[in-house]
Amino acid sequence: MDTENTEEMKEKGKNHAALTVLPDEKDLRLDRWIKRHFPGVTHGQLQKWLRTGQIRVDGKRVDSSHRLDDGNRVRLPPNLLEDPAFAQKTVPGKGRPIRNPEKLKSFILFEDEDVVALNKPAGLAVQGGTGLKENLDDSLMALSLDGVTRPKLVHRLDRDTSGVLLIARNDFAAAKLTAAFRARTTQKVYWAITKGAPLRDEGMIEEPLIKSGQIMRIAEDGDDETLVKSATTLYQVVERAHRKAAFIALWPLTGRTHQLRVHLASIGAPIWGDPLYGPEIDEEDCDFPIAELGRGLHLHARRLIIPHPRRGMIDVTAPLGPVMRKTWRWFNFDEKADVSFDDPFRKRGRR
Protein backbone atom coordinates (compact mmCIF):
# COMPACT_ATOMS: atom_id res chain seq x y z
CA MET A 1 0.00 0.00 0.00
CA ASP A 2 2.56 2.88 -1.83
CA THR A 3 2.68 4.04 2.42
CA GLU A 4 3.76 6.79 4.63
CA ASN A 5 4.96 6.49 8.21
CA THR A 6 4.43 8.55 11.35
CA GLU A 7 5.08 12.10 12.46
CA GLU A 8 6.31 12.11 16.02
CA MET A 9 5.77 15.21 18.16
CA LYS A 10 5.99 16.01 21.85
CA GLU A 11 3.16 17.90 23.48
CA LYS A 12 4.30 20.95 25.40
CA GLY A 13 4.81 20.41 29.10
CA LYS A 14 4.09 16.67 28.92
CA ASN A 15 5.81 13.49 27.93
CA HIS A 16 2.91 12.45 25.74
CA ALA A 17 3.79 11.78 22.12
CA ALA A 18 1.49 12.17 19.15
CA LEU A 19 1.72 10.09 15.98
CA THR A 20 0.05 11.09 12.73
CA VAL A 21 -2.05 8.47 10.92
CA LEU A 22 -0.80 8.00 7.37
CA PRO A 23 -2.91 7.72 4.20
CA ASP A 24 -2.37 3.98 3.84
CA GLU A 25 -3.43 3.49 7.47
CA LYS A 26 -6.86 5.04 6.88
CA ASP A 27 -9.79 2.95 8.20
CA LEU A 28 -7.59 0.82 10.46
CA ARG A 29 -9.16 0.07 13.83
CA LEU A 30 -7.30 1.86 16.61
CA ASP A 31 -6.35 -1.40 18.35
CA ARG A 32 -4.86 -2.78 15.15
CA TRP A 33 -3.01 0.46 14.49
CA ILE A 34 -1.50 0.33 17.99
CA LYS A 35 -0.50 -3.31 17.48
CA ARG A 36 1.15 -2.43 14.17
CA HIS A 37 3.29 0.28 15.75
CA PHE A 38 3.75 -1.23 19.23
CA PRO A 39 3.63 -5.02 19.09
CA GLY A 40 4.52 -5.31 22.79
CA VAL A 41 1.33 -3.59 24.00
CA THR A 42 -1.14 -6.09 25.48
CA HIS A 43 -4.92 -5.89 25.09
CA GLY A 44 -5.29 -5.20 28.81
CA GLN A 45 -2.75 -2.40 28.76
CA LEU A 46 -4.42 -0.78 25.76
CA GLN A 47 -7.84 -0.90 27.43
CA LYS A 48 -6.41 0.72 30.56
CA TRP A 49 -4.86 3.56 28.56
CA LEU A 50 -8.12 4.12 26.68
CA ARG A 51 -10.16 4.03 29.90
CA THR A 52 -7.91 6.59 31.58
CA GLY A 53 -7.75 8.84 28.51
CA GLN A 54 -4.03 8.40 27.97
CA ILE A 55 -4.70 7.42 24.36
CA ARG A 56 -6.86 9.87 22.42
CA VAL A 57 -7.57 10.62 18.78
CA ASP A 58 -7.52 14.31 17.87
CA GLY A 59 -7.92 15.07 21.56
CA LYS A 60 -11.04 12.91 21.99
CA ARG A 61 -11.58 9.73 23.97
CA VAL A 62 -12.42 6.75 21.74
CA ASP A 63 -12.69 3.00 22.09
CA SER A 64 -10.44 0.32 20.61
CA SER A 65 -12.72 -0.28 17.61
CA HIS A 66 -12.56 3.37 16.48
CA ARG A 67 -11.71 3.64 12.77
CA LEU A 68 -8.86 6.03 12.04
CA ASP A 69 -8.69 8.59 9.25
CA ASP A 70 -5.48 9.77 7.58
CA GLY A 71 -4.22 12.89 9.30
CA ASN A 72 -5.63 11.93 12.71
CA ARG A 73 -3.22 12.55 15.58
CA VAL A 74 -3.12 9.72 18.08
CA ARG A 75 -1.95 10.82 21.52
CA LEU A 76 0.04 8.15 23.35
CA PRO A 77 0.93 7.56 27.02
CA PRO A 78 4.06 9.23 28.42
CA ASN A 79 7.36 7.68 27.30
CA LEU A 80 5.65 4.97 25.21
CA LEU A 81 7.91 5.60 22.24
CA GLU A 82 11.04 5.27 24.34
CA ASP A 83 10.00 2.12 26.24
CA PRO A 84 11.68 -0.82 24.47
CA ALA A 85 9.06 -3.22 25.83
CA PHE A 86 6.47 -1.49 23.66
CA ALA A 87 8.22 0.59 21.02
CA GLN A 88 10.28 -2.17 19.42
CA LYS A 89 8.99 -3.02 16.00
CA THR A 90 10.10 -6.64 15.98
CA VAL A 91 8.59 -9.54 17.90
CA PRO A 92 9.58 -13.22 17.65
CA GLY A 93 8.40 -14.73 14.37
CA LYS A 94 7.40 -11.36 12.91
CA GLY A 95 10.56 -10.52 11.02
CA ARG A 96 14.08 -9.33 11.78
CA PRO A 97 16.37 -6.50 10.70
CA ILE A 98 18.37 -6.97 7.54
CA ARG A 99 21.24 -9.30 8.39
CA ASN A 100 23.78 -6.76 7.18
CA PRO A 101 22.33 -3.27 7.83
CA GLU A 102 25.27 -1.73 6.01
CA LYS A 103 23.76 -3.22 2.87
CA LEU A 104 21.15 -0.48 3.07
CA LYS A 105 23.76 2.10 2.15
CA SER A 106 24.33 0.38 -1.19
CA PHE A 107 20.67 1.09 -2.02
CA ILE A 108 21.01 4.87 -1.60
CA LEU A 109 20.05 6.99 -4.62
CA PHE A 110 19.99 10.37 -2.88
CA GLU A 111 20.61 11.63 0.64
CA ASP A 112 20.99 14.82 2.64
CA GLU A 113 20.45 15.82 6.25
CA ASP A 114 16.67 15.33 5.97
CA VAL A 115 15.96 12.63 3.41
CA VAL A 116 17.28 9.33 2.10
CA ALA A 117 15.94 7.80 -1.12
CA LEU A 118 16.61 4.08 -1.56
CA ASN A 119 16.29 1.74 -4.52
CA LYS A 120 14.52 -1.09 -2.68
CA PRO A 121 15.11 -4.49 -4.25
CA ALA A 122 12.19 -6.80 -4.96
CA GLY A 123 11.71 -9.39 -2.24
CA LEU A 124 12.74 -7.14 0.65
CA ALA A 125 9.83 -6.42 3.01
CA VAL A 126 9.51 -2.82 4.12
CA GLN A 127 8.05 -3.83 7.49
CA GLY A 128 7.99 -7.00 9.57
CA GLY A 129 5.29 -9.64 9.31
CA THR A 130 4.59 -13.29 9.92
CA GLY A 131 6.99 -15.55 8.06
CA LEU A 132 9.35 -12.77 7.00
CA LYS A 133 13.03 -13.40 7.54
CA GLU A 134 14.07 -9.75 7.46
CA ASN A 135 12.67 -6.28 6.91
CA LEU A 136 13.91 -2.80 6.16
CA ASP A 137 12.11 -0.87 8.90
CA ASP A 138 14.06 -2.53 11.70
CA SER A 139 17.36 -1.61 10.04
CA LEU A 140 16.79 2.11 9.59
CA MET A 141 19.19 3.12 12.37
CA ALA A 142 21.95 2.27 9.89
CA LEU A 143 20.87 5.46 8.08
CA SER A 144 20.89 7.66 11.20
CA LEU A 145 23.33 10.56 11.03
CA ASP A 146 23.86 10.91 14.78
CA GLY A 147 23.28 7.32 15.90
CA VAL A 148 20.42 8.50 18.13
CA THR A 149 17.61 9.83 15.91
CA ARG A 150 15.75 6.97 14.27
CA PRO A 151 14.88 7.55 10.58
CA LYS A 152 11.25 6.97 9.64
CA LEU A 153 9.33 5.48 6.75
CA VAL A 154 7.04 7.98 5.05
CA HIS A 155 5.46 5.60 2.53
CA ARG A 156 5.64 1.94 1.59
CA LEU A 157 6.17 -0.42 -1.31
CA ASP A 158 4.89 -3.98 -1.54
CA ARG A 159 7.50 -6.60 -0.76
CA ASP A 160 7.66 -7.76 -4.39
CA THR A 161 7.80 -4.24 -5.84
CA SER A 162 11.22 -2.66 -6.39
CA GLY A 163 12.23 0.97 -6.73
CA VAL A 164 12.24 4.36 -5.04
CA LEU A 165 11.47 4.33 -1.31
CA LEU A 166 11.76 7.54 0.69
CA ILE A 167 13.03 7.72 4.29
CA ALA A 168 12.86 10.77 6.59
CA ARG A 169 15.89 11.31 8.80
CA ASN A 170 14.12 13.48 11.40
CA ASP A 171 10.67 14.41 12.68
CA PHE A 172 10.52 17.67 10.74
CA ALA A 173 11.17 15.91 7.43
CA ALA A 174 8.71 13.12 8.30
CA ALA A 175 5.93 15.64 8.96
CA LYS A 176 6.57 17.59 5.74
CA LEU A 177 6.87 14.51 3.52
CA THR A 178 3.81 12.88 5.07
CA ALA A 179 1.82 16.05 4.39
CA ALA A 180 3.04 16.07 0.77
CA PHE A 181 1.92 12.50 0.21
CA ARG A 182 -1.43 13.22 1.86
CA ALA A 183 -1.95 16.36 -0.27
CA ARG A 184 -0.86 14.45 -3.38
CA THR A 185 1.69 17.08 -4.36
CA THR A 186 3.83 14.22 -5.61
CA GLN A 187 4.28 12.28 -8.83
CA LYS A 188 5.06 8.59 -8.56
CA VAL A 189 5.88 6.87 -11.84
CA TYR A 190 5.96 3.09 -11.96
CA TRP A 191 7.17 0.82 -14.75
CA ALA A 192 5.69 -2.58 -15.50
CA ILE A 193 5.82 -5.30 -18.11
CA THR A 194 2.42 -6.83 -18.76
CA LYS A 195 1.23 -10.09 -20.25
CA GLY A 196 -0.92 -8.82 -23.05
CA ALA A 197 -1.35 -5.12 -23.76
CA PRO A 198 -4.06 -2.47 -23.38
CA LEU A 199 -6.03 -1.60 -26.50
CA ARG A 200 -5.19 2.09 -26.14
CA ASP A 201 -1.76 3.66 -25.92
CA GLU A 202 -2.75 5.81 -22.97
CA GLY A 203 -5.67 6.28 -20.65
CA MET A 204 -7.12 6.64 -17.20
CA ILE A 205 -8.46 3.73 -15.18
CA GLU A 206 -11.03 4.76 -12.60
CA GLU A 207 -12.18 1.60 -10.87
CA PRO A 208 -13.01 1.56 -7.15
CA LEU A 209 -11.45 -1.23 -5.11
CA ILE A 210 -12.57 -3.36 -2.19
CA LYS A 211 -10.73 -5.94 -0.13
CA SER A 212 -11.87 -9.52 -0.68
CA GLY A 213 -10.17 -11.93 1.71
CA GLN A 214 -6.44 -11.37 1.32
CA ILE A 215 -6.64 -9.66 -2.07
CA MET A 216 -8.24 -6.60 -3.65
CA ARG A 217 -10.82 -6.59 -6.45
CA ILE A 218 -12.87 -4.15 -8.48
CA ALA A 219 -15.91 -3.11 -6.46
CA GLU A 220 -19.35 -4.14 -7.73
CA ASP A 221 -22.94 -3.05 -7.18
CA GLY A 222 -24.10 -4.39 -3.85
CA ASP A 223 -20.72 -4.15 -2.11
CA ASP A 224 -20.62 -2.39 1.24
CA GLU A 225 -20.05 1.22 0.22
CA THR A 226 -18.21 1.98 3.45
CA LEU A 227 -15.49 -0.49 2.44
CA VAL A 228 -15.15 0.65 -1.18
CA LYS A 229 -12.17 2.89 -2.01
CA SER A 230 -11.93 5.13 -5.05
CA ALA A 231 -8.87 4.43 -7.18
CA THR A 232 -7.47 6.20 -10.24
CA THR A 233 -4.47 5.29 -12.38
CA LEU A 234 -2.98 6.99 -15.44
CA TYR A 235 -1.06 4.78 -17.85
CA GLN A 236 1.01 5.04 -21.03
CA VAL A 237 2.11 2.17 -23.23
CA VAL A 238 5.79 2.93 -23.81
CA GLU A 239 6.57 -0.03 -26.09
CA ARG A 240 4.73 -3.12 -27.31
CA ALA A 241 5.79 -6.65 -28.14
CA HIS A 242 2.92 -7.02 -30.60
CA ARG A 243 -0.20 -7.76 -28.55
CA LYS A 244 1.54 -10.29 -26.35
CA ALA A 245 3.35 -8.00 -23.90
CA ALA A 246 3.92 -4.33 -23.20
CA PHE A 247 6.18 -1.95 -21.32
CA ILE A 248 3.81 0.37 -19.46
CA ALA A 249 4.38 3.49 -17.35
CA LEU A 250 1.86 4.25 -14.61
CA TRP A 251 1.01 7.13 -12.33
CA PRO A 252 -1.33 6.14 -9.47
CA LEU A 253 -3.29 9.25 -8.52
CA THR A 254 -4.50 7.36 -5.46
CA GLY A 255 -2.52 4.97 -3.30
CA ARG A 256 -4.67 1.91 -2.71
CA THR A 257 -3.28 -1.50 -1.83
CA HIS A 258 -2.36 -3.43 -5.01
CA GLN A 259 -4.00 -0.69 -7.07
CA LEU A 260 -1.75 -0.92 -10.12
CA ARG A 261 -1.88 -4.70 -10.16
CA VAL A 262 -5.68 -4.86 -10.02
CA HIS A 263 -6.20 -2.00 -12.47
CA LEU A 264 -3.93 -3.47 -15.13
CA ALA A 265 -5.52 -6.90 -14.75
CA SER A 266 -8.94 -5.27 -15.17
CA ILE A 267 -8.04 -4.05 -18.68
CA GLY A 268 -6.64 -7.40 -19.78
CA ALA A 269 -2.97 -6.63 -19.17
CA PRO A 270 -1.90 -8.21 -15.84
CA ILE A 271 1.63 -7.55 -14.68
CA TRP A 272 4.15 -10.19 -15.71
CA GLY A 273 4.92 -12.54 -12.84
CA ASP A 274 2.01 -11.41 -10.63
CA PRO A 275 1.06 -14.44 -8.50
CA LEU A 276 -2.20 -12.86 -7.27
CA TYR A 277 -3.76 -11.07 -10.22
CA GLY A 278 -2.07 -12.57 -13.25
CA PRO A 279 -2.78 -15.90 -14.96
CA GLU A 280 -0.52 -18.86 -14.37
CA ILE A 281 2.02 -19.13 -17.16
CA ASP A 282 2.57 -22.55 -18.68
CA GLU A 283 6.09 -22.75 -20.06
CA GLU A 284 5.02 -25.13 -22.81
CA ASP A 285 2.16 -22.93 -24.01
CA CYS A 286 3.83 -19.57 -23.41
CA ASP A 287 4.81 -17.43 -26.39
CA PHE A 288 8.10 -16.47 -24.73
CA PRO A 289 11.08 -18.50 -23.44
CA ILE A 290 10.37 -18.11 -19.71
CA ALA A 291 13.83 -19.34 -18.71
CA GLU A 292 15.34 -16.34 -20.48
CA LEU A 293 13.13 -13.81 -18.66
CA GLY A 294 13.42 -12.44 -15.15
CA ARG A 295 11.33 -14.07 -12.44
CA GLY A 296 8.87 -12.40 -10.09
CA LEU A 297 6.58 -9.40 -10.21
CA HIS A 298 7.64 -6.93 -12.90
CA LEU A 299 6.59 -3.73 -11.13
CA HIS A 300 9.16 -1.04 -10.39
CA ALA A 301 8.77 2.35 -8.68
CA ARG A 302 10.83 4.16 -11.29
CA ARG A 303 10.63 7.82 -10.32
CA LEU A 304 9.44 9.98 -7.42
CA ILE A 305 8.99 13.76 -7.54
CA ILE A 306 8.06 15.40 -4.24
CA PRO A 307 8.64 18.75 -2.50
CA HIS A 308 11.75 18.71 -0.33
CA PRO A 309 10.97 19.34 3.36
CA ARG A 310 13.00 22.59 3.33
CA ARG A 311 13.71 23.69 -0.23
CA GLY A 312 12.94 22.92 -3.85
CA MET A 313 12.00 19.49 -5.12
CA ILE A 314 13.31 15.96 -4.81
CA ASP A 315 13.38 14.16 -8.16
CA VAL A 316 14.80 10.64 -7.89
CA THR A 317 14.99 7.88 -10.50
CA ALA A 318 15.73 4.24 -9.66
CA PRO A 319 17.46 2.05 -12.24
CA LEU A 320 16.02 -1.39 -12.88
CA GLY A 321 17.44 -4.26 -10.86
CA PRO A 322 19.24 -7.16 -12.58
CA VAL A 323 16.23 -9.49 -12.66
CA MET A 324 13.89 -6.99 -14.32
CA ARG A 325 16.66 -5.71 -16.58
CA LYS A 326 16.97 -9.25 -17.93
CA THR A 327 13.35 -9.14 -19.14
CA TRP A 328 13.62 -5.58 -20.49
CA ARG A 329 16.63 -6.59 -22.57
CA TRP A 330 15.04 -9.77 -23.89
CA PHE A 331 12.12 -7.73 -25.24
CA ASN A 332 14.57 -5.03 -26.37
CA PHE A 333 12.62 -2.45 -24.37
CA ASP A 334 14.40 0.81 -23.56
CA GLU A 335 15.49 0.61 -19.92
CA LYS A 336 16.34 4.32 -19.95
CA ALA A 337 13.11 5.51 -21.55
CA ASP A 338 12.10 9.10 -20.79
CA VAL A 339 8.47 8.89 -19.66
CA SER A 340 6.52 11.76 -18.16
CA PHE A 341 2.93 12.60 -17.27
CA ASP A 342 1.42 16.07 -17.21
CA ASP A 343 -1.76 17.59 -15.86
CA PRO A 344 -3.67 17.88 -19.17
CA PHE A 345 -3.29 14.12 -19.54
CA ARG A 346 -5.53 13.63 -16.51
CA LYS A 347 -8.47 15.03 -18.44
CA ARG A 348 -8.24 12.82 -21.49
CA GLY A 349 -10.42 9.83 -22.26
CA ARG A 350 -10.82 6.70 -20.21
CA ARG A 351 -9.42 3.28 -21.03
Work out whether strand 209-212 and strand 215-218 pair parallel, antiparallel, or are unpaired: antiparallel
Largest separation between any pair of C-alpha atoms in the chain: 69
Pick the catalytic residue from 138, 158, 160, 274.
158
List helix spans (H) across 287-350.
322-331, 343-346
> Is 158 an annotated catalytic residue?
yes
Question: What secondary structure does DSSP assign to 228-293, as a single string?
Answer: -B--EEEEEEEEEETTTEEEEEEEESS--TTHHHHHHHHTT-PBTT-TTTS----TTT-SS-GGGS
* CB-based burial, 184-204: b 16+ in 10 Å, e otherwise: eebbbbbbbbbbbbbeeebbb
Instruction: Note the Cα 195 to chain centre separation in Å.
Output: 23
* CB-based burial, 318-341: b 16+ in 10 Å, e otherwise: bebbebbeebbebbebeeeeebeb
Nearest CA to 201 out of 269, 121, 152 is that of: 269
Residues that are catalytic? 158
